[in-house]
Structure 1
Amino acid sequence: MNLLQSIKMAWKSIIGTKVRSLLTMLGIIIGVSSVIVLVSVGQGTTSQITAQLEGLGTDLLTVNIMGRGNTTSLSLDEAMELGEIAGVKAVSPVISDSVTVKKGTTNDSVSIEGIVPSYEEVKDFHVQSGRFIIDLDNEFRIKAALIGTEAAQTFFGSEDPVGQTIQLNGTSFQIVGLLESKGSSLTASNDNKILIPITTAERTLRNGGIRSITVQANDSKQISTVKASVEAALDKKFQNADNSYSIFNSQDMLDTVNSTTQTLSLALGGIAGISLLVGGIGIMNIMLVSVSERTREIGIRKAIGAKRMNILLQFMVESTFLSGFGGLAGIGLGYGLSALIGHYTSLTTTVPYSIVLISFLFSLFIGIIFGVIPANQAAKLRPIHALRTE
């Protein structure tokens, strides 16, 4: 008997017991679909976090100043001096707080940032109308403001905010620019805030020091060198005091996130892979039952000349068919569930083709491995004993 005949007999056997075959494949279906869904959610989440971190800029360092003793911040001049370090393209010191904003009868609390002109390029945050903060605004402490799209909608509705005035902690500011929409970052909305000159912010917020500085390197490849130089400058300022400052490197965070999520995805895939093993045990169990039910048939076939290899091949093909069909159904179910999760939840799902292929091949492997024992048991039956079986 050739392979084609074995395939035909295996197919007839599976079709003849549809419900039992479906229940046998269920473990494989659940296992494959679980692997695909869990890994797709893990990969999608990784991509989402990676995109957000890359949006922060891999050539940027965020310096947070805690200080030492009575010195808890840097002056504006000291912060700007960091821009003179070799490899630094620009620096953007920021003073941030929350203020009460009032326009007419509308009153709300909004995040405010005092900035310098370099903020536009360092943060890649531009205006869609009007102008950005310029050096003259800081030099003369002009009460000028840039407003985000969400804040503009809150206080001005559909009106153009450029040229209008707004009250910040009771002080009138003229809006000189409407910021482009940037959406939300890892921490908060970028559209619900107001930007003003940093020197004006020092007076309005009664804050005379810089505690947050973004340093942009000429190239992301120089980020480590620039970081070391910034650390040396700050160590000199704070006399090597521990915890006087911290430097956040988005590239380091990106590498850590990628490493962590990849490990998590593998762990989730491994846990889901246990279902495939359970499915394989189910296939072996059903195939053993099938051997018992078809003992007399096996005896007749061997009595009329069927060889041991013919019997072995028939049952191996049948178990492989069960696992293969289960794998294909699991792939379809996994894709469907991943699409539903991505559509109806905030989670992002990405189905890697490599995982689909690996899970399908593993399901076939499971079918072959767990089909060996029942197939070997059937092939070993002696015709005389098999024919006596009722």
Structure 2
Amino acid sequence: MLFWTIIKVSFKSLQANKLRTFLAMLGIIIGVGAVISMLALGAGAKNQVMERITAMGTNLLVVSPGGDRRGGVRAGSRESLTIKDAQEIRDTIDGIAAISPLVRGREQVTYFNENVNTTITGTASTYLEIRNFEMEKGRGFTVMEEDHTSRVAILGANTAELLFKNQNPLGERIRIKNINFKVIGVLKEKGDQGWFNPDEIVVVPYPVAMKQLFGQPHLDEIDIKANTDADLTQVEEDVTALLRKRHRIMEDAENDFHVRNQAEIIDMASTFTRTFTILLGGIAGISLVVGGIGIMNIMLVTVTERTREIGVRKAIGAKDRDILRQFLLEAILISAIGGILGIVFGFTVAYAIKQFTEYQTVIETFSIMLALTVSASVGIFFGFYPAFRAAKLDPIAALRYE
């Protein structure tokens, strides 16, 4: 039989029982749609994570007290970082654009009858630049205000909304631990980072935070922004060597601090999102296999019902390969059409997720090509056995079949 003749006959056979054909396609439609939407969800999650990491700052190093984690516990002292450490890093290490000591803690913040429990972040004037913050209104504090332990505060977007509603907070005074702070600025909204919400903070100069709010001589963190042309790994090594020397750590001893490189954070996030995407795709792929089994079952029923037809075709000269091609092509058509409809279904689900939830979805060309390839492969794999059985039917026995 000519190839186009086989296609025409296959289409007519599928149209002869539309409900059965649709039910055979349904598993593929759901499977392909699930693969498309799940991979889109995984790609969207990766983009969101990368956006959040970038929002934290670029060319970033974060030095925190305590050594590397062992068994979930960070080794070393939690009070190992000092202002002198930050000053020495600033004055000694090449390739640093900005540096900020940091202390933080949660406190109740009040404005008349309004109050909110939020994170108080004591930093240097360079902190906003390092962490890519932008001002919605007002200004940041100056080096002079920092040095003179001025009681000035910058509010995160959510904190300002909770305390002041629709009022202008600039120039107003808030109270933290019964100490008045003058509001000089409000930060632009950044969005929840997942592990930390930068919109729910109050930023104050670190000297006033250390002396008057928290009463601690040590730092909780040192944030470092490297120059754009600097080798971030080299800066990290220089900072590590300097702090080991300052803290008089023996050559074979563990650090009492930990330096996180933004590249490490990105690598960890990429590994996590890649695993997440593969897991989602694998779960969705199971439904494709189920759809393939559905095609095989229905094609086996079809072969049984069309036994006499197969016998007639063989009796008038059709070869085994012609019967094999026809039934295999029917299975491929079912899976291919189901794959195309599944892509439309997947697009719809991905769009709905993006519109009605807080999650991003990104449909990549790779996922579409993968879905089409897998759906066609499913048709070939699960359609071959029914087609082979049809091709091997004995024409005499087939003609006698009732």
State the TM-score, normalized to the length of structure 1: 0.91
Q: CA deviation at 1:213?
A: 0.6
Match of 1:59 in 2: 59
Q: CA deviation at 1:61?
A: 0.8
Q: 1:367 to 1:204 in 2, by over 3 A?
A: same
Q: CA deviation at 1:224?
A: 0.8
- Aligned pairs for 1:309-324 (under 5 A) are 309-324=321-336
Name which of structure 1's ranges 265-274 and 209-218 shifts more when overlaid on structure 2.
265-274
Query: Distance in 2 between the 1:110 and 1:275 partners?
Result: 45
Q: CA deviation at 1:217?
A: 1.1
- Aligned pairs for 1:111-126 (under 5 A) are 111-126=119-134
| Stretches of structure 1 lacking an aligned partner (at least 5 in a row) | none
- Corresponding position: 1:47 with 2:55: no
Residue 350 of structure 1 aligns to a residue whose secondary structure is coil
Q: 1:69 to 1:304 in 2, by over 3 A?
A: closer
2:242 aligned to which of 222, 233, 249: 233
- Aligned pairs for 1:213-224 (under 5 A) are 213-219=222-228, 222-224=231-233
Q: CA deviation at 1:25?
A: 2.1
2:83 aligned to which of 67, 76, 87: 76
1:177 aligned to which of 171, 174, 185: 185
- Corresponding position: 1:386 with 2:394: no
Quote the sequence identity (%): 37
Name which of structure 1's ranges 64-73 and 290-299 shifts more when overlaid on structure 2.
64-73
Q: 1:355 to 1:178 in 2, by over 3 A?
A: closer
- Aligned pairs for 1:116-195 (under 5 A) are 116-195=124-203
Q: What CA RMSD, in Å, does the superposition of the two structures yield over aligned residues?
A: 2.4
1:189-209 CA-partner distances (Å, limit 9, x unpaired): 322322222222222122222
- Aligned pairs for 1:284-295 (under 5 A) are 284-295=296-307
Q: CA deviation at 1:252?
A: 0.7
- Residues 100 and 223 of structure 2 are in contact (CA less than 8 Å); yes or no, is this contact kept in structure 1? yes
- Residues 95 and 230 of structure 2 are in contact (CA less than 8 Å); yes or no, is this contact kept in structure 1? no
Structure 2 residue identity aligned to 1:81: E
Residue 112 of structure 1 aligns to a residue whose secondary structure is strand
Query: Distance in 2 between the 1:71 and 1:252 partners?
Result: 22
Structure 1 residue identity aligned to 2:14: I
Name which of structure 1's ranges 187-196 and 221-230 shifts more when overlaid on structure 2.
187-196
| Stretches of structure 2 lacking an aligned partner (at least 5 in a row) | 68-74
Residue 231 of structure 2 aligns to a residue whose secondary structure is helix
- Aligned pairs for 1:265-304 (under 5 A) are 265-304=277-316
Match of 1:349 in 2: 361
Q: 1:380 to 1:63 in 2, by over 3 A?
A: same
1:256-291 CA-partner distances (Å, limit 9, x unpaired): 221232133223323432332332233223222222
1:165-187 CA-partner distances (Å, limit 9, x unpaired): 22222222222223333232233
Structure 2 residue identity aligned to 1:287: M
Q: CA deviation at 1:73?
A: 4.0
Name which of structure 1's ranges 278-287 and 204-213 shifts more when overlaid on structure 2.
278-287
- Residues 73 and 211 of structure 1 are in contact (CA less than 8 Å); yes or no, is this contact kept in structure 2? no
Name which of structure 1's ranges 185-194 and 224-233 shifts more when overlaid on structure 2.
185-194
- Residues 295 and 382 of structure 2 are in contact (CA less than 8 Å); yes or no, is this contact kept in structure 1? yes
- Residues 80 and 256 of structure 2 are in contact (CA less than 8 Å); yes or no, is this contact kept in structure 1? no
1:57-113 CA-partner distances (Å, limit 9, x unpaired): 341111112499999244423312211302222211112223332322323333222
- Residues 153 and 204 of structure 2 are in contact (CA less than 8 Å); yes or no, is this contact kept in structure 1? yes
Query: Distance in 2 between the 1:90 and 1:139 partners?
Result: 17
Match of 1:371 in 2: 383
Query: Distance in 2 between the 1:267 and 1:374 partners?
Result: 32
Query: Distance in 2 between the 1:63 and 1:194 partners?
Result: 21
Residue 242 of structure 1 aligns to a residue whose secondary structure is coil
Match of 1:36 in 2: 36
Query: Distance in 1 between the 2:155 and 2:4 partners?
Result: 73
Structure 2 residue identity aligned to 1:216: K
Query: Distance in 1 between the 2:81 and 2:380 partners?
Result: 69
Query: Distance in 2 between the 1:267 and 1:99 partners?
Result: 40
Residue 314 of structure 1 aligns to a residue whose secondary structure is helix
Query: Distance in 2 between the 1:234 and 1:248 partners?
Result: 14
Structure 2 residue identity aligned to 1:203: K
Query: Distance in 1 between the 2:384 and 2:156 partners?
Result: 67
1:99 aligned to which of 107, 120, 139: 107
Match of 1:109 in 2: 117
Query: Distance in 1 between the 2:83 and 2:304 partners?
Result: 86
Structure 1 residue identity aligned to 2:381: I
State the TM-score, normalized to the length of structure 2: 0.89
1:320-356 CA-partner distances (Å, limit 9, x unpaired): 1111122122222222222222333332222222112
Query: Distance in 1 between the 2:296 and 2:265 partners?
Result: 47
Residue 260 of structure 2 aligns to a residue whose secondary structure is strand
Query: Distance in 2 between the 1:192 and 1:269 partners?
Result: 35
Q: 1:268 to 1:168 in 2, by over 3 A?
A: closer
Count how many residue pairs are aligned between Structure 1 and Structure 2: 390
1:17-67 CA-partner distances (Å, limit 9, x unpaired): 122222222322232222222222222112211211122234111111249
- Corresponding position: 1:27 with 2:27: yes
Residue 284 of structure 1 aligns to a residue whose secondary structure is helix
Query: Distance in 2 between the 1:386 and 1:66 partners?
Result: 80
Structure 2 residue identity aligned to 1:23: L
Match of 2:70 in 1: none
Q: 1:221 to 1:317 in 2, by over 3 A?
A: farther
Query: Distance in 2 between the 1:370 and 1:157 partners?
Result: 62
Structure 1 residue identity aligned to 2:47: S
